[in-house]
Each structure stands twice: as C-alpha cells, then as structure tokens.
Amino acid sequence: WSQEGDLVVAGGEGGILDGSVSPPWINTFEITKYLMLFDPAAPSQPFELAASLYPGEVGCWKTAPNLELLVGRWYPTVTLSQKLTRNGLDNEVVMVSGGSDFATNQVLNTYESFVVRASNSPAGFLTRDPDHGNPIQVLPGPGGTLNPNQREILGLYPRVHLLSTGDMFVSGYGPDASRFNLNAPLATRTWNRTVGRVGSNWNDLRENGASIFYGRMAGGTLEDIVVRFGGWNGIFLPTDAAEACIASSAAAPWMSLPAIPGNAAGTLGRT
C-alpha cells in the first residue's frame, strides 16, 4: 500500500483455465510481467478483458501505459521504501524482488524498483526508478545478478521488511539474510552481507515458510525484530524451527526460538 492509499501489485501467473477436464487444468501457463495499481476510491471500471464487477461503485485496477516488469516474476515480494528523501515528497519508491522465472537463471537474484505516485498524478502513477539506468537493466541482489550461491539468492519468495533505519531486510528465500538501503543512489548502494548470516538452525531454502517484523523498545533502544519460521527444504521435509534476528544491528545473528507448537515435539512442521 502506498501512502496515497493505493495498492501496487506485481507479477504472478497467467493462463487459461480448461474446465473440460477433471480436475481443471491451466493451459498456456506463463509467468507474468504484470505491474498494476488498485485505486480503492476511483469509480469501478473494466480491466483488460474483464468487465467491471461492481458497476457504479468504487475500486478499480489500473496499468501504467507501456510499463511492465523487465522479467516475469512468479510470487515476488513488493515492498514500499517509505522514505521520501530521494525523489521528493510526492514520490515513493517501491521494490519488486524475487519470483524470477527459473527458465532464465540470470535474473534469479535481481530486483526492480518503481516510483509510485497518486493514481491521478499528471507525472504518471507508476514510473520506472531512474536508478535502472540507460539502457534499462535489472538491479542486483546480494552478490550480484549472476550470484550462484543458493544460500543468499532472492529466489522465488524473498521475505523483505522495511526497518526503522530505512533499510530493506531480506530474511529468505535462501537461509542467509541481507540488508541494504533502497534510498541510497545506486552508485553507492551496497548489500550488508554480515547481518543474519550465522546462528541459524535452518540451512536449506526456506520455501513456503513465513517471516514477520515487529519493533520493540529494549532498554530505551528501538530494536527491529524479524522472526522466521516454518517452511520446507529441497526434498519437501517441513520444519517446526523458528528463529529471530535483531535486523537493525550490525552482524546480528539468528537466535533460536522454541519450536512451532504441535501435537508432540518435533512432529508438526508448517509450510
């Protein structure tokens, strides 16, 4: 959600549902480059080939002319920077990370960013972040776009949280976390690859796990806490492990938490 009250949605999958077979099957499956905005206050209107669901009421989808993701992204994470200093008070930067098409391995560790404005802005409600350069290119995840290290790729489901420092904290897909400042100019932007790198009790890709963020005061100091739990490894074995990281601290380790409650100890992993 932007501070203007609009919802930015990116990526996903497309296809045509074939209801003539049982169970129904999706034909012409594709990983999409969709980038759209939902304005909950604008009059309802048709969207692409779909008629308006609620004629005469409010809420509509909008796509920016000639603007889409550079690569197909299947289940990416969309995170708003909430820092207004880089592009002015009327512009915010939204980060779309992960979810890349596995058919094109060179984009598995990349993200894209866009400026989001009010849906009626004459400058356009979605435009590509100037940091993408000329010619336009995807931006590198930790270790670069061609980084083959499975421990730190953004992958399909990166969990990205905005910290109180203004940094973005990535706690998965891979087991090694990272942090960086989306509001720093690209020429000086670097990934902190020391935070959330040790102490973890989960050393596989945390696929289909969960990650949450909360802040707390501890001894007069604000701490940004990220907790991750559940998920499965490469052979679909679920885990009941949970762990926490003080994500805003330099080189903070993961700290083990009690296992996810189940019927008996160690028997109820969650994905």
pLDDT of residue 86: 46
pLDDT of residue 106: 57
The pTM (predicted TM-score) of the whole model is 0.88
Count CA atoms within 13 Å of residue 167 on its CB side: 21
Cβ neighbours, 10 Å, residue 227 = 17
Q: Per-residue b/e over 25-38, b at no fewer than 16 CB within 10 Å? A: eeeeeebbbbbbbb
First CA to last CA distance, the chain: 26
**240-268 residue pLDDT tens:** 889 999 999 989 999 999 988 876 655 57
| DSSP code for 70 | S
**185-197 residue pLDDT tens:** 888 999 999 999 9
Single out the residue of 230, 236, 219, 229 nearest to residue 255, CA to CA: 229
d(CA 234, CA 214): 29
**37-52 residue pLDDT tens:** 999 988 998 887 788 8
Q: In what order do the strands lie in the sheet with 242-246?
A: 210-218, 221-229, 242-246, 254-257
Cβ neighbours, 10 Å, residue 93 = 20
Contact status, residue 142 vs residue 128, Cβ threshold 8 Å: no
pLDDT of residue 241: 86
Single out the residue of 67, 68, 80 nearest to residue 32, CA to CA: 68
Q: Taking 90 as the threshold, does the pLDDT of residue 103 lie above it?
A: no
**59-71 residue pLDDT tens:** 999 999 899 999 8
Contact status, residue 11 vs residue 75, Cβ threshold 8 Å: yes
pLDDT of residue 85: 47
